[in-house]
Amino acid sequence: MDTFIPISQPSIGEKELAYVSDAVRSGWVSSLGPYIESFERKFAAFCGSRFALTASNGTTALHLALLAAGIEAGDEVIVPDLTFIATANAAAYIGARPVLVDIDVETLCISPAAIERAITPKTRAIVPVHLYGHPADMDPINAIAEKHGLVVIEDAAEAHGAEYRGRRVGTLGKCAVFSFYGNKVITSGEGGMITTDDEALYTKAKRLRDHAMSPDKRYWHEEIGYNYRMTNLQAALGVAQLERIDAFMAQRRDVVGWYREALAHRRRNVYCMVCVEVEGMGDAGRQHLMGELRKRGVDSRPYFYPISDMPMYGSADTPVAHRVSHSGINLPSFTDLTREQVLHICAQLEAVLPADAAR
């Protein structure tokens, strides 16, 4: 197989081309237009929430969600140490302090026990991340939040359509945020969404997203707002993708099934990204492994580095996050992967790994 297999690529078809072309021809190419309303309404229905609000990307959606939930400078926001850095950055934009805690070794998501240990009088929110598409253990997280009067904001950037005990993510906290970057289950190129049942939070987030302009007096602003809006062109792409999401999720389940079959003796798979943990190789060994895969035409990427390793966020006692972070790689897992490609990827992985080097 000579073709290079990327870590991810979107599935773009005739429906996407038709909707985006329609948006272009309509002249509604900026942040107003019918596709924005359609995307919000259909995504809310998909998640089972009362409201959905588009944003320019997942990070700005999280920033808006934190602001609309009342998080202020000096507050503490508990986040997992193993996640994309945007989860911590969004809190830091406000002047809040991200408190980095450890993860569960099986799910790679935030540990409820670690949350409980990290709570102080300054704690105001918990942001569980459904990492690589696997839902965090939300029942104990919500119980902890209720006990201490904290806000729960789901970071569901990678978890479109994932379910926890029969409920879709996006409805498991006060609000949730999603990303529609090109490597996600569905994409709008760039884009984000907030889902919530809380009308006051939705209304405040919408106002802040639109420069905090008064709804009654055009070009009048009584607080600092942001230009975090999605365009009608992006929403057109998002609507087309959302109308295909059931097929996308079914295809991704097939992809994961093929990986499980081929790597049954050495795998840890979740839903958005396929994950393999390479034991005992260290970061340099992992980089070498990914380089060898690339020579064989297979793209891969490392797990996120712990946020507490970044110079602006300092240290944290998170041994699980540090151990798995330096041993994990993601393999290609996009919707249109074929069984033949998955078997090829697994064969190349087996060829470059020592027999006992991964699980």
pTM of the model: 0.94
pLDDT digits over 6-54, tens only?
A: 999 999 999 999 999 999 999 999 999 999 999 999 999 999 999 999 9
pLDDT digits over 211-226, tens only?
A: 999 989 999 999 999 9
Residue carrying structure tokens 């700005």: 60
In the chain, the domains with their CATH numbers are 14-242 (3.40.640.10), 245-352 (3.90.1150.10)
* pLDDT (0 to 100) of residue 359: 46
pLDDT digits over 267-315, tens only?
A: 443 446 789 888 777 788 889 999 999 999 999 999 999 999 999 998 9
* pLDDT (0 to 100) of residue 269: 38
* pLDDT (0 to 100) of residue 94: 98
pLDDT digits over 167-188, tens only?
A: 999 999 999 999 999 999 999 9
pLDDT digits over 117-149, tens only?
A: 999 999 999 999 999 999 999 999 999 999 999
pLDDT digits over 179-213, tens only?
A: 999 999 999 999 999 999 999 999 999 999 999 99
CA nearest 259: which of 334, 162, 184?
334
* pLDDT (0 to 100) of residue 3: 87
Averaged confidence pLDDT in the chain: 94
pLDDT band at 1 (very low <50, low <70, confident <90, very high): low
Look up residue 342 and give its two tokens: 């998955």
More confident residue, 98 or 356: 98
d(CA 192, CA 222): 25
- Would you say 325 and 305 are in contact if contact means Cβ atoms under 8 Å apart? yes
pLDDT digits over 217-250, tens only?
A: 999 999 999 999 999 999 999 999 999 999 999 9
